[in-house]
Amino acid sequence: MKHLVVNHKVTDYNAWRKEFDKDESVRTKYQVKVESVLRDRKDPNQITVVAGVPDYESADRFIQSPELKQAMSKAGVVGVPEVQLCEDC
């Protein structure tokens, strides 16, 4: 299985989470299935999202989509997210 791991800082977790939860249709469009949403124990505004993807091409289309960029901006993502594409081993 392939995974998309996104780590980013947000201005306010609660505001971010509200917007994140509204964005399910965009993730569905790109076949991105959220597996985990993690918060850093020392900085609750540092978020990691782990999602399953059918293939790296789908993940790339999602990462580059205008819908994702708009959603991240609206949700208060700060700076450039760290993105990793991984697979089970």
Tens-binned pLDDT, residue by residue, of the chain (89 aa) = 899 999 999 999 999 999 999 989 999 999 999 999 999 999 999 999 999 999 999 999 999 999 999 999 999 999 999 999 999 98
Based on DSSP, count helices (H) and strands (E) in the chain, helices before strands.
4, 4
Global confidence as pTM: 0.93
Intra-chain end-to-end CA distance of the chain, in Å:
9
The SS3 of residue 16 is: helix
Under a CB-based contact definition with an 8 Å cutoff, are residues 7 and 78 in contact? no
* Sheet order of strands, 77-87 included: 33-39, 46-53, 2-10, 77-87
pLDDT at 11: 97
